[in-house]
Amino acid sequence: MQDLLVIGVVAVIVGLAAAYVIRAKKRGQKCIGCPDSSCCPSGGKCEGGCNCNCHK
pLDDT at 31: 73
Rg (CA), the chain: 16
Dihedrals φ, ψ of 42, to 5°? Answer: -65, -25
**What does the alpha-carbon distance between residue 5 and residue 50 come to, in Å, rounded to a whole number?**
43
Tens of pLDDT along 36-51? 656 655 455 555 556 6
Tens of pLDDT along 1-31? 889 999 999 999 999 999 998 998 888 777 7
pLDDT at 49: 56
Question: pTM of the entire structure?
Answer: 0.58
